[in-house]
Structure 1
Amino acid sequence: MIITVSDTRTKETDKSGKLMQELLEENGFQVVDYHIVKDEYTAIQTLIRDASVRVDIEAILLNGGTGITLRDTTYEAVRDTLDKEMPGFGEIFRYLSYVEDIGSAAILSRAIAGVRGNTAIFSTPGSSGAVKLAMNKLILPELTHVMREIYKDRK
């Protein structure tokens, strides 16, 4: 499932959500649902909670709303739904952003990932550059491994 967090984007203007979907499908993953939600803590959490109990959704990928303005609530909404956090995701994303892309502005990034129940959750900034970096360097190389680890206990 893909969730774009934005107060202004539509399905027609959501480049980052489309990029996530294209990259997932090119790499053999199926996207079963896609939403655009306003940057509102409760709305984001509701989508995550509802998706995390669906048997047809193994991973939720969010983009947008990870900045430091008062309006940006994605980080908190995601963090507060996680059973387990993967702190390395945010750490490595910021490192890669620093080295490969935006320099010291990487400290403003609040990318986060973790697990809720049996669902992997990855949250990235909403720019196409950030999505491309996270998808190509972190999410796509590890998504199958993450899902395999989550599902070990289900057998």
Structure 2
Amino acid sequence: MSRIDETKDFIPVRIAVMTVSDTRSLADDRSGDTLVARIEGAGHVLADRMIVRDERGEIADHLRAWSLDPEVDVIITTGGTGLTGRDVTVEAHRDVYEKEIEAFATVFTMVSMEKIGTSAVQSRATGGVANGTYLFALPGSTGACKDAWDEILQYQLDYRHAPCNFVEIFPRLDEHKRRK
């Protein structure tokens, strides 16, 4: 449910998109294209985009680098969240997280249940925070990317969304690292 407070100014967020795949290229990355279109359509900035192989260490290394980049506020990955042996995106995310946003997976499952029924149980979508950056791992289907953006992320990444949103707490994500 959208609760946009029109009296507040929109604050664009810098979002990096990573597609995790052994077979995709930018030319045929439909899920990445779906996210980019929604990110830019909402008025946010595409900070970077890449395709990374299904290799846990490689994924985690790129997540860490982006999370330390002051030009990246949010990282969204697509692909590698399933149950097969090559699906290691969730593990790579958890290697990087300082804190996991458990409710993101729960809400994503609720949204998915409405669309695909009990097949939603096969998704391991996840979210977390590292180095003052939000990270979200979405399944590789365009439908899952649309659902996550349209039903969750477009609201939580909009400063005007009430009663609360991820953007308003950006300044406090790394407060534990500051000197007292």
**What TM-score does the superposition give when structure 2 sets the normalisation length?**
0.82
- Counterpart among 125, 141, 148 of residue 127 in structure 1: 141
Identity across the alignment (%): 36
Corresponding residue number in structure 2 for 1:143: 157
- Counterpart among 60, 63, 69 of residue 78 in structure 2: 63
- Counterpart among 103, 118, 122 of residue 108 in structure 1: 122
1:22-52 C-alpha deviation (Å, 9 max, x unpaired): 1011111000210000111001001000001
Mapping 1:1-155, distance limit 5 Å: 1-99=16-114, 101-144=115-158, 145-152=165-172
Displacement of 1:95: 1.3
1:92-129 C-alpha deviation (Å, 9 max, x unpaired): 11111112x11111111000001001101111001000
Look up the SS of the partner of 2:26 in the other structure. Answer: coil
CA distance 1:91–1:54, shift in 2 (3 Å): same
Q: How many residues align?
A: 154
Look up the SS of the partner of 1:57 in the other structure. Answer: coil
AA at the equivalent of 1:150: F
Q: Name which one, 1 or 2, has greater alpha-carbon Rg.
A: 2
**What TM-score does the superposition give when structure 1 sets the normalisation length?**
0.95
Q: Measure, in 2, the Cα distance between the counterparts of 1:48 and 1:77.
A: 8
CA distance 1:149–1:73, shift in 2 (3 Å): same
1:63-98 C-alpha deviation (Å, 9 max, x unpaired): 000000011000110012101111111111111111
AA at the equivalent of 2:99: K
Displacement of 1:152: 3.2
Higher helix share: 1
Q: Is the 8 A contact 1:67 1:108 kept in 2?
A: yes
Gaps of 5+ in 2: 1-15, 159-164, 176-180
Root-mean-square deviation (CA), in Å? 1.3
Q: Measure, in 2, the Cα distance between the counterparts of 1:29 and 1:121.
A: 16
Displacement of 1:148: 2.3
AA at the equivalent of 1:133: D
